[in-house]
Amino acid sequence: MGYLLLFDTFSKASDKFGTPFFEDDFEPNENHIVIQYAYRSDLTDMDREFILSFVEGLLSFKPSIDYVVDFFYVEQDLEFDYPTNSGFVELVEKINRLFNRNIMINDFQSFNNILQQ
């Protein structure tokens, strides 16, 4: 079990983002996407390869992006009382804490209305 978060920064990556990969030759693309995978049990190499391949499949159509997948372990499951609205706001608050993000909800009546700020 794991949780995959793709967070579009709507900006270029910092110059130091690419340093570990490209030394001094890193030229940021137009868009930096932060990708985090929080896992609940140990991942095998095959699991990691699958997740990386899945992310590549999701983003392969998007031009001019920089991303790397950050893997980290979490102690507890994120619980949510779907399909009722009860717990939806609390779930997003938990996600924000877990992934250190600031996702905001303008209309929590639907999953389609989660917006990044």
pLDDT tens-digit map of 32-49: 899 999 998 899 999 999
Give the gyration radius of the chain's Cα atoms.
16
Q: Are residues 66 and 86 in the same domain?
A: no
Q: Are residues 38 and 95 in the same domain?
A: no
Rounded to two decimals, the pTM is: 0.76
Q: Are residues 91 and 70 in the same domain?
A: no
Q: Are the beta carbons of 29 and 15 closer than 8 angstroms?
A: no
pLDDT tens-digit map of 2-31: 899 998 888 888 877 776 677 667 787 788
> Containing domain of residue 36, as a range?
1-77
Q: Are residues 65 and 10 in the same domain?
A: yes
Q: Are the beta carbons of 20 and 58 closer than 8 angstroms?
A: no
